[in-house]
A and B are shown apart, each in its own frame.
Chain A
Amino acid sequence: MDTVLRIERLTKYFGGLKAVSDFSLDLKSGELIGLIGPNGAGKTTIFNLITGIYQPDAGDIIFESKSICGFKPYQITGRGIARTFQNIRLFNELTVLDNVKVACHMHASYGLLSAIMHGGVFRREEKSIEEKARATLDIFKLQDRALETARCLPYGEQRRLEIVRALATDPKLLLLDEPAAGMNPSEVVNLMDLIHFIRERFDLTILLIEHHMKVVMSICERVAVMDFGEKLTEGSPAQVQKNPQVIEAYLGKD
């Protein structure tokens, strides 16, 4: 298996605070990897570094054999990395369909002038965007919600829509930031099925931040544990669970 994403000795400071320190991780094609750690360990900072929201102070991020450091977030999305957010960030006032259509924008190739003229190019491109967005909603059984305002969806469906929107950018690597946060047990089960499903269907590599141990331990093949910006350990869920350092980070020491 070839490496999709290689994080090399990544370091990020916020003022005097070392948020991420010497963090390395390899993601192989098709893997599903969990990133866990106590609150404030630097997990979301890693996501923000990968997606270009922050620039690292040291280290490198290599996606498909090319460094993506210094790229803007939209350029990184263009290369094939999509993400969801810890606190859902939908386009609240837009319809479910338009939320997905915005994510199809990257593949549209008409400009302002065609938009204003509403000519042939516009019609062709809009038709293909519409078809793609509808098809994506169909896959996730959100087609009946297409014309509802995103804000009005139930919580679980908002989370689902955010994943759908990320997938509409045709990613190769998907970063999920606490997808199970705030979900009830039956929604969590649905989510686990969903993650399995999208991974097969879209041929994805997935990096997952999650606090919900049941989710992490049952669906991830490999787990990396962080504490205070550093990687404590990495291994299979079973190995990690037994690791004394991990137990200490989560529960403290006598």
Chain B
Amino acid sequence: MKIRIVPIIIVLLTYAVLQILISTGFLNPYWQQIIGFAGIMTISALGLNIIYGYTGQFSLGHAAFYGIGAYTSALITKSFPHLGLFGFILSFFAAGIVVALIAFLIGMPILRLKSDYLGIATLGLGIIVKVVFDNADAVIPKLGGSRGMGGIAHFTNFPWIFFMTVAAVIIVRNFVYSTVGRACISIREDEIAAESVGIDTTRYKTMGFVLGCVFAGIAGVLYAHLYAFLHPSNFDFLKSIDVLLIVVLGGLGSISGTIVAAIGWTFLLEGLRVLLPPQILDWRLVIYPLLLIVVMILRPRGLFGGKEFKFLKG
């Protein structure tokens, strides 16, 4: 890999500044959690950007894989508490494998569908998974079912989130500027033409879908060990919409856009909570959709419209 000095320095500086702010207590635990959540949303949205933004497969079931990752990892760290941090690392692999397997098995049949129809199928999947979470305690009591799953160890801290997010960005960037990424993008552009120049479209659609879902699963692992409490309602259909919104807002097929939109969206949501006086607090749920509408009118192709920051280019 060609090593680029400037981006590395920027990344390390950003890390150092944030870490100092956290260590000195300048950012209280509330804001630390929000920074963490922004990173988690970035990873998850980067995954959906691979699926929808690059490969062009419309998925409304992203939160399901996010949830499967979260529950799988939480079950592992809770079942083997004596493993400590090693158990946490192990849970990343376990969650990744479980999510990849489920995404593969689901993807094979449903990726034959196109656009809206695929959206409905993935929506159905999201609902099934939510119902499974709701009733999971009947099979494995530890999962908590609709009462929620508590008592998860707090392994996720700022360095974990920060460097996992950086790794996610690098992986997506490398993926996009490779022949595998180009194959996926060609499917988005014109599936018949892609097939006519020798692209095995089924294979690459599945590959893009599985990879994107694994990102959601990894984000789920971080989420579970940041909040230490999981509830099925955190992984319902509306959460899939949140991620979709970030990807579309940032601009389909733009890494830079996804990062900016994910972080911006998280801070906007929480920022309004702080900024607005309590009596109109509920209006924030009106303000941010309004902002969305304005952005989509002014920039119909998203904030970045397929463009990238210079350091993310191939």
Seen from chain A, the residues whose Cβ lies within 8 Å of a Cβ on chain B are: 51, 53, 72-74, 77-78, 82-83, 85, 89-94, 98, 101-106, 108, 110-112, 114-119, 122, 125-126, 129, 165-166, 168-169
- In the complex, A110 Cα to B190 Cα: how many Å? 23
Is B282 part of the binding interface, using a Cβ–Cβ cutoff of 8 Å?
no
Query: With contacts A91-B185, A112-B207, A126-B179 known, is A102 near B194, CB below 8 A?
Result: yes
- In the complex, A168 Cα to B181 Cα: how many Å? 18
Interface 1/0s, chain B 45-67, versus A by CB < 8 A?
00000000000000000000000
Interface 1/0s, chain B 255-285, versus A by CB < 8 A?
0000000000000000000000000000000
Is B78 part of the binding interface, using a Cβ–Cβ cutoff of 8 Å?
no
Among B190, B193, B195, chain A packs the most CB atoms within 10 A around the CB of B193
Q: Are B179 and A73 in contact (CB under 8 A)?
A: no
Partner of B190, one of A74, A82, A89, A116: A89
Among A103, A108, A114, chain B packs the most CB atoms within 10 A around the CB of A103
Partner of A103, one of B181, B198, B253: B198
Seen from chain B, the residues whose Cβ lies within 8 Å of a Cβ on chain A are: 1-2, 171, 174-175, 178-183, 185-186, 189-190, 192-201, 207, 211, 253, 306
Q: Are B211 and A78 in contact (CB under 8 A)?
A: no
- In the complex, A129 Cα to B314 Cα: how many Å? 15
In the assembled complex, 8 residue pairs joining A and B whose CB atoms fall closer than 8 Å, in A order, are: A51-B196, A73-B192, A74-B200, A91-B186, A98-B185, A103-B197, A111-B180, A117-B174
Q: Are A77 and B198 in contact (CB under 8 A)?
A: yes
- In the complex, A201 Cα to B115 Cα: how many Å? 41
Q: Are B179 and A129 in contact (CB under 8 A)?
A: yes
Query: With contacts A74-B201, A94-B186 known, is A89 near B180, CB below 8 A?
Result: no
Q: Are A115 and B198 in contact (CB under 8 A)?
A: no
- In the complex, A72 Cα to B196 Cα: how many Å? 10
Partner of B192, one of A53, A72, A103, A110: A53
Q: Are B175 and A115 in contact (CB under 8 A)?
A: yes
Query: With contacts A112-B180, A117-B174, A126-B179 known, is A78 near B198, CB below 8 A?
Result: yes
Q: Are B179 and A110 in contact (CB under 8 A)?
A: yes
- In the complex, A89 Cα to B187 Cα: how many Å? 12
Q: State the majority secondary structure of interface residues on B.
A: helix
Partner of A85, one of B186, B193, B201, B306: B193
User: Which chain B residue has the least Cβ–Cβ distance from A92?
Assistant: B189
Chain A contacts of B180 at CB under 8 A?
A: 111-112, 115
- In the complex, A226 Cα to B74 Cα: how many Å? 66
List 17 additional contacts besides A90-B189, A103-B198; criterion CB under 8 Å. Answer: A78-B198, A82-B197, A91-B190, A91-B194, A94-B182, A94-B186, A98-B182, A102-B194, A105-B198, A115-B174, A115-B175, A115-B178, A115-B179, A115-B180, A126-B178, A129-B179, A165-B197
- In the complex, A78 Cα to B190 Cα: how many Å? 18
Closest-CB distance, B52 to chain A (whole angstroms)? 14
- In the complex, A217 Cα to B69 Cα: how many Å? 64
User: Which chain B residue has the least Cβ–Cβ distance from A91?
Assistant: B189
Closest-CB distance, A178 to chain B (whole angstroms)? 15
Chain B contacts of A118 at CB under 8 A?
A: 1-2, 174, 178
Chain B contacts of A85 at CB under 8 A?
A: 192-193, 196
Chain B contacts of A104 at CB under 8 A?
A: 179
Q: Are A83 and B196 in contact (CB under 8 A)?
A: yes
- In the complex, A166 Cα to B182 Cα: how many Å? 16
User: Which chain A residue has the least Cβ–Cβ distance from B176?
Assistant: A115
Chain B contacts of A169 at CB under 8 A?
A: 197-198
Chain B contacts of A78 at CB under 8 A?
A: 198
Closest-CB distance, A246 to chain B (whole angstroms)? 30
Q: Are B200 and A119 in contact (CB under 8 A)?
A: no
Q: Are A89 and B198 in contact (CB under 8 A)?
A: no
Closest-CB distance, A117 to chain B (whole angstroms)? 7
Closest-CB distance, A71 to chain B (whole angstroms)? 11
Q: Are B181 and A115 in contact (CB under 8 A)?
A: yes
Q: Which 6 A-B pairs have the closest CB atoms?
A: A115-B178, A91-B189, A106-B198, A89-B193, A77-B198, A103-B197
Query: With contacts A116-B171, A119-B1 known, is A102 near B186, CB below 8 A?
Result: yes
Closest-CB distance, B8 to chain A (whole angstroms)? 15
- In the complex, A111 Cα to B201 Cα: how many Å? 15
Chain B contacts of A117 at CB under 8 A?
A: 1, 174
